[in-house]
Amino acid sequence: MKFLIDTSSRVPIYRQLTQQIRESVARGTLRPETKLPSVRELSKELVINPNTIARVYTELEREGILNTRPGLGVFVAHPKSELTKKVRKERLVELVDQFLTEAVHLGFSSNEVISLLGQRAEQFQWMTVET
Amino acid sequence: MKFLIDTSSRVPIYRQLTQQIRESVARGTLRPETKLPSVRELSKELVINPNTIARVYTELEREGILNTRPGLGVFVAHPKSELTKKVRKERLVELVDQFLTEAVHLGFSSNEVISLLGQRAEQFQWMTVET
Amino acid sequence: MKFLIDTSSRVPIYRQLTQQIRESVARGTLRPETKLPSVRELSKELVINPNTIARVYTELEREGILNTRPGLGVFVAHPKSELTKKVRKERLVELVDQFLTEAVHLGFSSNEVISLLGQRAEQFQWMTVET
Amino acid sequence: MKFLIDTSSRVPIYRQLTQQIRESVARGTLRPETKLPSVRELSKELVINPNTIARVYTELEREGILNTRPGLGVFVAHPKSELTKKVRKERLVELVDQFLTEAVHLGFSSNEVISLLGQRAEQFQWMTVET
DNA sequence: GTGGTCTAGACCACC
DNA sequence: GTGGTCTAGACCACG
């Protein structure tokens, strides 16, 4: 696993990192039970304060994406969604609309967007059954 | 135009407003040359600090979505993208991947996502020609 | 609102505080939309590092109990449960069993426990409708 | 007796084990004078560091739930509470309130909680006489 | 060795 | 003024 942090970005470091881990998990690059680098390791590698890494791991744990085992390390969790169907649908609609808004402003056509989405979607790990 | 601000949201007010204006323009609800309310009007209507409104207008103008004509008011700009094809494409790919990442974690299937996107896309105003 | 921190307890400070706030909200002592003391205020009052307070607020926000509005302060959120009926039921059963285990070891009779629970339950703010 | 350790839980192993033993005793599944597996046996069976098992036994002995008889093994102790009535009552009230706090936040009604508690209580071994 | 907690103090974004 | 982010460094719990 390689993570890239851009300290000159306005996006907070911890958010860049959570996003990258979230995406790797969604793509299946990081699979369940994979051990992530330890807080200290990663903090050295990325030249970032250990607290910041710890924060990332804590936050992803609360989201159910990671799984920390005291004394052992941090691992990718098995996927599960505990949210109500209703809430999940609402969030998805919101995401879709925000995404479409930006796509329109970038000047793309509907077809271009849908086509690209279809292509990229193949690179992700989708649920086959509803939870 | 009606804007709705939820002060009990953790999303900053200025961001809620920019998002709503951006989305209205993308949907065609707000069309080019439409005059927006003045900073003072809108700040009274939404009971929001005028500075916050001014900030919103400034930001959207910087994005090329609005147009301030001194002494006349603020107007919706004609769509134009000053970005190169390459940059726009890169940005879109980034957006798509972020969107897909979140959709996966919400536990949806690929088909559900693509289908919803297709539906919602019909409500937006798309470019028919490349700029 | 009065919060009491016992720095000599083995229970982490941030956990003592989250527990007290959670309980106050559950009892209705802290009602929705109530503003909590600012991070700086509370950190002075309790002689605790501001970061620790901030952590408490962040965590309770993620649980949906609080609601922070940047620049304005932290408020008690309106109650809502976004978890699946199934997950909620599982958690409740687990809580009940843990509770009963401890009650047995304390040497109480079933009747004593149920009776006390009934009494104390009256002091809490219960849902009237399922969400 | 079967103990199940979930190494992918954020709950420390030693705590999972103490909890399971405590609960088994409270349910009467483990009865007084029952011999528990030796530290070595159990550590092999559960694939857990022997130190961790030893720690569990030590802690439960301190609580008066187990009894180590040197050379013979570890046994379930006869129930006895050395705490005064007052202390035990205070502790129970604290437990009840914590339990109710969580139940409220899970979005249950008072009746649902009391009813479930009544059901589960039947599976435990209660004192019939005050000690 | 692992992660969790806490402190101290800096700087930024928001209203 | 508010909270959010980040750093530096200490100490504890866990296996």
Helix axes A85-105, B13-27, angle to 10 degrees: 70
CATH code matching the domain that covers B13-76, chosen among 3.40.1110.10, 1.10.3720.10, 1.10.10.10, 3.40.605.10: 1.10.10.10
Main-chain phi, psi angles of C64, to 5 degrees:
85, 15
Mutate which: A69, A72, A80, vs D, most D CBs within 10 A: A69
What does the pLDDT read at residue D81?
76
Q: How far is the CA of C47 from the C1' of E10 (A)?
A: 20
For chain D, give every domain's residue range: 13-76, 85-121
Output the pTM of the full model: 0.92
- Left, alpha or beta for A63 (phi > 0: left; psi -120 to 50: alpha)? alpha
The answer to whether the CB of D60 falls within 8 A of the CB of D21 is yes
DSSP letter string over C17-82? HHHHHHHHHHHTSS-TTPBPPPHHHHHHHHT--HHHHHHHHHHHHHTTSEEEETTTEEEEPPP---
CB C67 within 8 A of CB C74: yes
Residue B56 main-chain phi, psi, to 5 deg: -60, -50
Q: Distance (Å) from the C-alpha of residue A56 to the closest C-alpha of chain C? A: 13
Q: Return the residue in A88, A109, A115, A127 with the most chain B beta carbons within 10 A, the one to mutate for interface testing.
A: A127
Residue D124: name the closest of C111, C117, C88 by CA. Answer: C111
User: Is a pLDDT exceeding 70 seen at residue C131?
Assistant: no
Contact D117 C103 (CB under 8 A): no
**For residue D129, what pLDDT band results from cuts at 50, 70 and 90?**
low
Please provide residue C66's backbone torsions phi and psi, each rounded to the nearest 5 degrees: -115, 180
From the CB of residue B30, how many other CB atoms can be counted at a distance below 10 Å?
Answer: 20
Q: What are phi and psi of B34, to 5 degrees?
A: -65, 135
Instruction: Over range D113-120, report the average pLDDT.
Output: 97
Q: How far is CA D107 from the centre of its chain?
A: 27
The yes-or-no verdict on residue B1 having pLDDT over 80 is: no
DSSP secondary structure letter of residue A35: B
**Strands C66-69 and A73-76, bridge-based pairing:** unpaired
Token representation of residue D81: 């509470």
| Closest to D83 (Cα-Cα) out of A65, C105, B115, A66 | C105
- What are C42's two structure tokens? 């509370």
> Does residue B52 reach within 7 angstroms of strand E, measured from its CB?
yes
From CA D8, how far away is CA A78, in angstroms rounded? 10
Tokens at B75, concatenated: 């107007």
Touch between chain D and chain B (3+ CB pairs, < 8 Å)?
Answer: no
Does position B87 have pLDDT exceeding 70, yes or no? yes
What tens digit of pLDDT does each residue of B97-128 get? 999 999 999 999 999 999 999 999 999 999 87
